[in-house]
Amino acid sequence: MPSQVNSACEVACAEDLTYPPPPSLQGDAHVPDFNTYKDLYRKSIQNPQEFWMDVASEFYWKTPPSGKLFDYNFDLTKGKIFVEFMKGAKTNVCYNVLDRNVMEKNLGDKTAFFWEGNAPTDSSVISYGHLLKEVCKFANILRKLGVKKGDRVAIYLPMIPELVYAMLACARIGAIHSIVFAGFSSESLCERILDSQCAALITADGVFRGEKLINLKQIADEAMERCKEKAQLVVKNCIVVKHLNGRLNNQHKAKLQTAWNPDVDSWLDELMVEASEECEPEWMDAEDPLFILYTSGSTGKPKGVVHTVAGYLLYTALTFKYVFDYHDDDVYWSTADIGWITGHSYITYGPLANGATSVMFEGIPTYPHVGRFWEIIEKYKVTTFYTAPTAIRLLMKYGDQAIQKYDLNSLKILGTVGEPINSEAWLWYYNVIGNRRCPIVDTFWQTETGGHVLTPLPAATPLKPGSATFPFFGVVPAVLNEQGVELEGEAEGYLVFKQPWPSIMRTLYGNHDRYENTYFNKFPGFYVAGDGCRRDKDGYIWITGRIDDMLNVSGHLLSTAEVESALTEHPAVAEAAVVSRPHQVKGECIYCFVILKDGKKFTELITQELKKQVREKIGPIATPDFIQNAPGLPKTRSGKIMRRVLRQIARNEKDLGDVSTLADPNIVEVLFSQRCEAAA
Ligand code: PRX
């Protein structure tokens, strides 16, 4: 049953409605009104030196920043693209998010994480003091295994505390973590390990997602095997977290055989027994890399986005404080996975830099029941709740009753991230979850931006449902037309940024050319986000979606090319083209056109095999929803697939626009007549 609370009129007019910040928040907010936002914004642009030095003064510096803070070139016609911030200053991110809180701010006993397991009976509480000790022990283990500053460490872990220990341990010794979402396949893991030549891999025996047991160690073993076969890369150390102990019944035990190679594998808990709780941090240059995180690229090969120490720390700390209006007794919960950028910036680094208390959740929204999120909010009295539109749409489907049982009065601020939110979902979130009391911060940003770049501030910005509103401090967006001319006032075009902010990515690991070509080539002088946007008469920015061949499925970016290459690896497939199609819950879903080789017959079996193939090559998030047998594809005379036409076919939209460049216009009719109505 859909919600009854959103009136039809409200949904229809949502884009014209404005929701002012609630006065209850404004009293002690960091940014209590819109004029204060404007003043601070102006300062951040006109005097960035003073603005960021103020922020830096909160943190510990082995060598404090001095001189000019920013040095950069955004214009390819003038030379190499680069961004430097506070270069020459020395610090350590782990020291700042842990030791500083424990020693200087006396927060040793404060809860850093309420860890909530997949099963509601499974939980633990981790204080800042405990977190510091575990991280130091882990860091000592890595050092003892020979991992040193600059080495890359792959982390393939579920949402368990050891994931945070592992990433901060890397940060402590200056190793560069490369976290791979634990829903990715062995092939995806292998590709990422190879690309950055990881010295070690950290994984777990397995994890439950709902009732499903996933044998992570087996996937990790397969990935390491592939690394050897494909590129003779031998991962020297694989550290394994014993997570399933006590969580398995006999049936599971029989299924879960953990293969063991004593030359490579070691159990974390055994290493931890011996490890010292003291570990001197590695003092890092502000511009040393902190981590690599892979994101999909339109060529199909993932891009290793590199973030550096000081800019990332300062920016995630500041955005967390202002965008969630963080106060000491808040309980914050982001439902993201640390395998994505949201988890890096707004589960680990941003909250910890502020000494915040967070919920970390291992499970899924619908297990063991559809009220799981609301149950957790009630249990921990969550004040700030940050999730994805896809989760909102999923839970909205189950109606309001699943919510009414729970006390959600602790909530003060709601947030969304990852994809545009439709007004119906926005209003449901606002009315039903927030009970009309809680502003929704619709945060637009990317793996590449490191932190929020367009976002409301909860006590300052009047909201319009579906708009990411205005830039955060230090960020200067612009709207360009196809010719690269900057558009003023009401306009629609390419979303670009005119100057760097501290946490913008610095390069793509091992491929600076690709960095320059992907983000800076189209419009010299601007960082091109890859999204379209519209600025309305009041200056609000609305993201209109990707302008490249990327799909956004449940808030996860995938490239059409990577799905296509997974499909064409099937022996029966000659060619494939993939487009997005709107989906009620996922936002977008994957619609595939496949041309089979001569003599091959399109059967249900092939459909299932193709779905399996994509799942195995990339991971379950990329599973196609529709697979259409295509006798041909709409191509231009030069052989380029006209994806625009395929998108219209997938959506059953007959308005095709200009198709005069099509080599064979008849194919369009044929494809329309053979459309998939029902999901595969
Ligand atoms: O298309 C935009 C969409 O997600 C893309 C970035 O994806 P990723 O790097 O995986 O990071 C997701 C989490 C930050 C963007 O280019 N996107 C992200 N946030 C929003 C959004 N689209 C609309 N509104 C948002 N709030």
DSSP 429-469: IIIIISTTTS-EEEEB--TTTSS-SB---TTTPPB-TT--B
Determine, yes or no, domain membership for 561: yes
Average pLDDT of the chain to the nearest whole number: 94
Q: Which pLDDT band, with edges at 50, 70 and 90, does 2 fall under? A: very low
Do 543 and 554 share a structural domain? no
Vertex 439 angle, CA 436 and 441, to 5°: 145
Do 565 and 543 share a structural domain? no
- For residue 353, pLDDT beyond 60: yes
Domain boundary residue, one of 502, 522, 547: 547
Give me the number of domains the chain comprises: 2
Q: What is the pLDDT of residues 605-652, one digit of tens each?
A: 999 999 999 999 999 999 999 999 999 999 887 777 888 899 999 999
Domain boundary residue, one of 547, 575, 599: 547
Q: Cα separation of 322 and 37, whole Å?
A: 10
Residues of the domain holding 609: 550-678
User: Rounded to the nearest whole angstrom, what is the distance from the C-alpha of residue 302 to the centroid of ligand 1?
Assistant: 16
Best probe residue, ligand 1, of 316, 392, 417 (max atoms within 8 Å of C-beta): 417
Whether residue 529 has its Cβ less than 6 Å from ligand 1: yes
Do 554 and 532 share a structural domain? no
- For residue 11, pLDDT beyond 80: no
Q: Cα separation of 126 and 108, whole Å?
A: 10
Do 223 and 199 share a structural domain? yes
Do 135 and 101 share a structural domain? yes
Q: What is the pLDDT of residues 49-73, one digit of tens each?
A: 999 999 999 999 999 999 899 999 9
Ligand 1 atom 2 nearest Cα: 419
* pLDDT of the residue at 300: 78
From the CA of 448, give the closest atom in ligand 1: 9
Kindly give, in sequence order, each residue whose CB lies less than 8 Å from that of residue 587, ignoring residues fewer than 6 positions away.
389, 390, 393, 419, 420, 552, 553, 554, 555
- For the chain, the straight-line distance linking the first and the last C-alpha, in angstroms and rounded, comes to 25
- For residue 333, pLDDT beyond 80: yes
Vertex 392 angle, CA 386 and 397, to 5°: 160
At 43, is the secondary structure helix, strand, or coil?
A: helix
Do 629 and 536 share a structural domain? no
- What is the chain's Cα-based Rg? 25
Q: Is the dihedral of CA 315, 321, 324, 329 positive or negative?
A: positive
Determine, yes or no, domain membership for 663: yes
Kindly give, in sequence order, each residue whose CB lies less than 8 Å from that of residue 153, ignoring residues fewer than 6 positions away.
142, 147, 166, 170, 175, 176, 177, 178, 198, 199, 200, 201, 202
Determine, yes or no, domain membership for 76: yes
Q: What is the DSSP letter of 31?
A: S
- For residue 509, pLDDT beyond 60: yes
AA letter at 204: A
Whether residue 503 has its Cβ less than 6 Å from ligand 1: no
Q: Give residue 537's Cα distance to chain centre.
A: 31
- DSSP output for 616-631: HHT-GGG--SEEEE-S
Best probe residue, ligand 1, of 441, 531, 541 (max atoms within 8 Å of C-beta): 531
From the CA of 543, give the closest atom in ligand 1: 23
* pLDDT of the residue at 15: 64
Q: Which pLDDT band, with edges at 50, 70 and 90, does 1 fall under? A: very low
Do 212 and 340 share a structural domain? yes
Domain boundary residue, one of 547, 566, 589: 547
Best probe residue, ligand 1, of 446, 472, 540, 556 (max atoms within 8 Å of C-beta): 446
Do residues 296 and 302 touch, judged by C-beta distance below 8 A? yes
Determine, yes or no, domain membership for 411: no
Determine, yes or no, domain membership for 378: no
Do 41 and 113 share a structural domain? yes
Determine, yes or no, domain membership for 14: no
Strands (DSSP E) found in 367-446: 384-387, 413-417, 440-443
* pLDDT of the residue at 254: 77
Q: Cα separation of 155 and 176, whole Å?
A: 10
Do 292 and 186 share a structural domain? yes
Do 591 and 502 share a structural domain? no
- For residue 4, pLDDT beyond 50: no
Do 604 and 619 share a structural domain? yes
Do 623 and 528 share a structural domain? no
In CATH, what number is assigned to the domain containing residue 121? 3.40.50.12780
Whether residue 442 has its Cβ less than 6 Å from ligand 1: yes
Phi, psi of 418 (to 5 degrees): 110, -25
Q: Is the dihedral of CA 259, 264, 270, 272 positive or negative?
A: negative
User: Rounded to the nearest whole angstrom, what is the distance from the C-alpha of residue 418 to the centroid of ligand 1?
Assistant: 4
Q: What is the pLDDT of residues 253-279, one digit of tens each?
A: 877 777 899 999 999 999 999 999 999
* pLDDT of the residue at 253: 81
* pLDDT of the residue at 9: 63
